[in-house]
Chains A and B, each alone.
Chain A
């Protein structure tokens, strides 16, 4: 166990190191320079450009820039080139904004996928199964922004309530329950939109896991024993089908920092995705690289957690 953890940590650190190099190279070798250095602004003379370059160490060789950047990252000194804010405080602020979206989206995904997936596995081939199959494919096939616009226009035209932003603008002095409910309402559409793909995939996965388990001998035995079908399905079958999903808890970790650029743009949600997108457009290298680094850490931590969970949950695996 300990050796597994040790090995894993070393391996992941090495991976992280390479990720940091690759992302750094992608960003620095791509054409285009930071837009602080906007050369189309007549006010920017070559001297100012040069000074900016120097300030951002852009005149140094790449490996020096790499060292500068990661030294700044680990000492927490990195600042955004755009507004001189600390990158970590920026990311933290955005993270808090994206968090509710992530939590509600995940809740919707997981609470809906299981009943739907299990039911379609039980009534395999029936109308319910086929309808949900079709619906889940429909959901992952819609271009996200198209769906978002259709939904927004529908809600705004029929219910005359705002759906844009994190909260209704200008109700800062209303009562607390109002504010909470207002927040929840604003979460509804974007999180549902964010969850559609997840529901479709996860419910299909639940279904297939259930089918696999339902084909096992012990289920047949349980049925033959005359146990009520609910007990067979939910106690015997489901428990065993649950195993792979335990590990998936680890894999949703990177979703924390992901955030969808498109949904956040349409809904004016000041989340991670949009910050990263704006940073890309402005060539705000510190922000891009930090987001990338943090998300890589989360991905690796996620796989690590899921491996560990697997170890704990499945007694057959001993490393």
Chain B
């Protein structure tokens, strides 16, 4: 599938439809040159990524080089670039570079070390949250777009309601009712299997007709789920769930992911709807290629562009959301430092130690900005037609 190879193999004289003259990477490089803001964004993006990885290496382990959790109460609120007071510290407390590059916080922890660790945590929060949302988005959007016209039978819905209800009831200790529902669920499977044998549908009695009748199309169902999700104000929903659930970095990632997949679903569905009608899909179908192969090998690569763009911007949003949650006290809990919680911890000391606010604040600003600019550039590169759609 490498278009570059094609290019070499194909005889030069053939003027027939060809793969693009340039590989995507080349295209990418060219566009970066043209769009300097995007290039800057990409550069910072890479830099941030490197920082995060080095940060992870330098700050983890039992004896990290930069210890973000090392408390030095005597050295609290030292401004950036100040030298540690060697008399007051034990040898193992002296910072590696013998200087507090970004000062210390209210417990005398090295802000530089915390920023390094925070870079990785913030990055993970962004990537995992967006990863979840993209995964759900592609899955739901793909199904809605590709299998959209299929209908779900009433019995299927009943089946799922019973299944979910049954499991839910068992989980909340209502064992009897739960088991009853699960049994009902089992019986519906039996019913389905038995109904399948008797093909002539006209002879079915009325109640079976209703059960086996088409209730709702897959597309409608999924889009209604999207509508339902969109009815919740997103930050409010995240806040509710995060406030009610025990705070942990995983919960935050999952919650942000679970509440932001609707946009991706809509993009992917739209792409699939239009791509499904294209000739190459028809050709693939004619060749007898299976549905899943068509979806993953033929349609998906063509539909991924808007997803990638919204994912990049989504990471930026996730980092901002985490910072907002931190402000309200529901961010990633310690011992993980994130830029968001360094910022919100620091805001109390804005008059005494402004660097505690400004360093993470500006760092977030720069990184989020770079993600946004890069995402925007990517949109231009990957699909000129999609330009400027938000």
Contacts and interface: CB of A to CB of B under 8 A. Distances in A.
Do A and B contact each other directly (Cβ–Cβ < 8 Å)?
Answer: yes
Interface of A: 11, 14-16, 18-19, 22-23, 26-27, 29-32, 130, 133-134, 137-138, 140-146, 149-150, 153, 201, 204-205, 207-208, 211-212, 254, 257-258, 260-262, 265, 273, 276-277, 280-281, 288, 291-292, 295-296, 299-300, 303
Contact of A30 (B224, B241, B361, B369): B241
Contacts of A281: 243
Contact of A261 (B37, B239, B390): B239
A78 B175 CA distance: 32
Contacts of B233: 254, 257-258, 295
Interface in B304-327: 316, 320, 323-324, 327
Given A143-B320, A143-B340, A134 B231 contact: no
The B contact surface, by secondary structure, is helix
Interface in B227-242: 227-228, 230-233, 235-236, 239-241
Interface string B28-49: 0000000001000000000000
B350 interface: yes
Nearest to B231: A296
Contacts of A300: 227, 231
Contacts of A145: 323-324, 327, 344, 347
Residue among A141, A212, A276, A300 with most chain B CB within 10 A: A141
Contacts of A262: 324, 327-328
Contact of B373 (A18, A32, A137, A303): A137
Among B172, B244, B373: residue with most chain A CB under 10 A: B244
Contacts of A208: 387-390
Output the residue of B236, B240, B246 with the most chain A CB within 10 A: B236
Contacts of B236: 258, 261, 273, 276, 291-292, 295
A260 B376 CA distance: 26
B372 interface: yes
B246 A280 contact: no
A142 B362 CA distance: 8
B390 A201 contact: yes
A15 B390 contact: no
Contacts of A140: 368, 372
16 contacts: A15-B227, A27-B244, A30-B241, A134-B373, A138-B369, A141-B372, A143-B340, A144-B324, A145-B323, A145-B327, A150-B361, A153-B350, A262-B327, A277-B239, A280-B244, A281-B243
Interface in B130-188: 172
Contacts of A133: 37, 376
Contact of A204 (B37, B324, B388): B388
A8 to B, nearest CB: 11
B43 to A, nearest CB: 15
Contacts of B37: 130, 133-134
A303 B347 CA distance: 39
Contact of A211 (B231, B344, B347, B388): B388
Given A141-B369, A149-B357, A211-B388, A280 B230 contact: no
A133 B37 CA distance: 9
A120 to B, nearest CB: 11
Contacts of A32: 244
Nearest to B313: A140
A146 B361 contact: yes
Given A260-B235, A292-B236, 17 more contacts: A26-B240, A26-B241, A26-B244, A27-B244, A31-B246, A133-B376, A138-B365, A143-B327, A145-B347, A146-B323, A146-B343, A153-B350, A207-B388, A208-B387, A211-B387, A258-B236, A280-B244
B364 interface: yes
A292 to B, nearest CB: 7
Cβ-closest 10 pairs across A and B: A208-B388, A30-B244, A296-B231, A141-B368, A146-B361, A141-B369, A143-B323, A145-B327, A19-B231, A137-B372
Contact of A18 (B228, B235, B323, B364): B228
A295 B244 contact: no
B376 A137 contact: yes
B364 A137 contact: no
A19 B236 CA distance: 14
Interface in B341-386: 343-344, 347, 350, 357, 361, 364-365, 368-369, 372-373, 376
B369 A299 contact: no
Contacts of B282: none
